[in-house]
Structure 1
């Protein structure tokens, strides 16, 4: 059995949860499927299901961040597969994200870019031929 079996939930932090919810809803084209406020637990967390595997993208009010977690920019770069890196980057910038790293060819079939969202989180995008190979092997799609 593999120790890391797949991404379960990616959590991002925001000082203004409502603004972050609106921004990500606009970017993703969907509303969150879960809200702690709607569940009667007070405002603090929203969660989206996105992508080919319905991964969970959670946004948490920064006041609930673990002690010692940096409040500035930074952290790991999680790359989300996209079909058009340049086009997606243009859209992210138009929505108010700040360029971290422009379109970069990493090798044949691997292109990345990254931004800082308006809430200080790093968001990576990538065209990854291996992602498409795995996806194609599971359901015949390409």
Structure 2
């Protein structure tokens, strides 16, 4: 069996029935406009590694895709979890999972997740491992 090397997140895709409203909402909460903007698709580059968040008109969703909330939760590291949580909820995101300390006495891992106004789960967390990795990369 050969090893598969998952090197990092390339693009996270969120689908939205109202593509224009989703682009506007994400532009407001992220404080930036998409760097790529085309009919039916907009893309933001975010964070220390410029990960991509694509907002796609749901008419382009794969056949059989569910309109229900669910699936994997991708957590974005944030420096201030509570302030980020408050910003998203003030802009209309609803609670999926409350702020939860998952540290277990080892490292700082605190998560929360919300559902954006378009039905996508948005995970946020403070993650000491992320910061350690970032600090190693930037100090070398």
TM-score w.r.t. length of structure 1: 0.91
Structure 2 counterpart of 1:3 = 5
Instruction: Encode CA deviations 1:99-129: one digit per residue, 9 max, x unaligned.
Output: 1111100014000000000000000000000
Structure 2 counterpart of 1:93 = 89
Q: How many residues align?
A: 135
Cα distance in 2 for partners of 1:51, 1:95 equals 21
SS at match of 2:136: helix
Quote the RMSD (CA, aligned, Å). 1.3
**Unaligned 5+ runs, structure 2:** none
1:19 aligns with 2:8: no
Map 1:43-82 → 2, pairs under 5 A: 43-82=39-78
Cα distance in 2 for partners of 1:136, 1:51 equals 14
TM-superposed deviation, 1:29? 0.5
**Unaligned 5+ runs, structure 1:** 37-42
TM-score w.r.t. length of structure 2: 0.93
